[in-house]
Amino acid sequence: MAALAVRPVTKDTWPDLVRFFEAKGGPHYCWCTPYRDPRNPGWTSAKRKACMKRLVDESTPVGLLAYTGGEPVGWCSVAPRESYLRLQRSRSMPRATPAETPTWTVLCFFVARTSRGQGITRALLQGALRYARKQGARVVEGYPFDTAHISATHRGHSSIFRALGFRQDGKRWEKVLGRKH
């Protein structure tokens, strides 16, 4: 496998996100927006894409892309918990940290079918920790499908979270980050 790079989605990398999401088998149906806006369930794919574009244009953190050979092969939705508007009232994923604690949430992974089984999800979660810490997060949380009782496997498996030092608290997994230096 070519060297793997993990980069945040920004205005500059937006075309890569579009190429990845719109590729055959990509997550173009959701654009990873269902938790970002409560009105989302009735939206078309085009409206979801426009929502994501607006967030990127406003410099709102939305996630990371993994690249091999310059091509996007994986996605991780990681952002400040507050930017996932549907989480504000979630009973299945309630906030466990005090409101003043900068908390980021990992909600989704997607790896291109041809790149699966190569450690990309783990690399994306490692990148999410680095990115969140650099942006000032003190805690990163996730909800792996096998412990949060979520049927969609795009939430990642608890073994990856455990391997990277997350601890389980019920359905939720968290990692407390050290201070930025």
Is 112 a member of any domain?
A: yes
The count of other CB atoms within 10 Å of the CB of residue 78 is 27
Domain CATH number, residue 139: 3.40.630.30
Within-domain flag for 77: yes
Q: Which among 75, 80, 173, 90 is positioned nearest to 123, based on CA atoms?
A: 75
Q: How many structural domains are present in the chain? A: 1
Q: Cβ–Cβ contacts within 10 Å for residue 134, how many?
A: 11
Tens digits of residue pLDDT in 52-92: 999 999 999 999 999 999 999 999 999 999 999 989 888 88
Residue 85 counted as domain residue: yes
Bigger pLDDT: 159 vs 39: 159
Q: Is residue 181 part of a domain?
A: no
Answer yes or no: is 111 within a domain: yes
Give the pTM: 0.91
What does the DSSP assignment read for 10-48? -TTTHHHHHHHHHSTTSSTTTTT-TTT-TTGGG--HHHH
* Residue 108 maps to a domain: yes
Closest residue by Cα to residue 63 from 80, 83, 82, 79:
79
| Residue-range definition of the domain harbouring residue 163 | 4-176
